[in-house]
């Protein structure tokens, strides 16, 4: 029967400590990179930009059918710095090639309030999602209407700002 003899690390204690520091540094760097990727991924899923500052809680989502396209518009902010909406487009038969930098418009109390900024998926395909942001101020009680052209049928929905 042979005995197992423990093998001691032949390197000097300073070399072992330096190796451990390098390994700890490498693990820390990997953790930081993973956290950064998670943060970037979350920002992309939100549409890349936060809702306008000074926004309030808003109304329920609206679901509109425009021909073969189902559009879901969810207000995520109304306030002095503007309005923001999470928007999704779903279809199985139409190419969603519309230009979301120019086709959506906002009106406040019946008056045009300009076009918005789209942060989301690129034109094409059968599923698109992102955030529309408008910079026109929205006051409590205002009627806010979001309209989107370029689909098989017009899309227009209104909410009352809280």
Of residues 143 and 34, which shows the higher confidence score?
143
User: What CATH number is attached to the domain comprising 88?
Assistant: 2.60.40.1630
Kindly state whether residues 36 and 89 are assigned to the same domain: no
Kindly state whether residues 91 and 121 are assigned to the same domain: yes
Q: Is the pLDDT of residue 91 over 60?
A: yes
Kindly state whether residues 142 and 75 are assigned to the same domain: yes
Q: Tell whether pTM > 0.85.
A: no
Q: Tell me how many domains the chain contains.
A: 2
pLDDT tens track for 1-44: 566 666 555 555 666 666 777 766 667 656 556 555 555 544 44
Kindly state whether residues 121 and 154 are assigned to the same domain: yes
CB atoms within 10 A of CB 29: 10
Asked whether residue 23 is assigned to any structural domain, the reply reads: yes
Kindly state whether residues 17 and 68 are assigned to the same domain: no
Buried b (16+ CB within 10 A) or exposed e, 35-49: eeeeeeeeeeebbee
Q: Which domain holds residue 19?
A: 11-45
Kindly state whether residues 120 and 41 are assigned to the same domain: no
């Amino acid at each position: 029967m042979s005995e197992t003899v423990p093998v001691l690390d032949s390197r000097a204690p300073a070399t072992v400590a330096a190796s451990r520091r390098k390994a700890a540094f490498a693990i820390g760097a990997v953790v930081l990179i993973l956290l950064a990727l998670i943060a970037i991924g979350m920002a992309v899923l939100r549409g890349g930009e936060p809702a306008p500052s000074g926004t309030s809680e808003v109304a329920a989502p609206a679901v509109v059918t425009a021909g073969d396209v189902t559009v879901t518009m969810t207000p995520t902010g109304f306030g002095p710095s503007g309005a923001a909406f999470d928007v999704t487009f779903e279809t199985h038969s139409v190419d969603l090639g519309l230009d979301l930098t120019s086709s959506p418009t906002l009106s406040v109390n019946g008056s045009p309030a300009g076009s918005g900024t789209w942060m989301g998926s690129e034109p094409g395909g059968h599923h698109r999602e992102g955030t529309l942001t408008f910079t026109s101020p929205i006051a409590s009680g205002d009627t806010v209407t979001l309209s989107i052209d370029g689909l098989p049928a017009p899309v227009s929905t209104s909410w009352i700002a809280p």
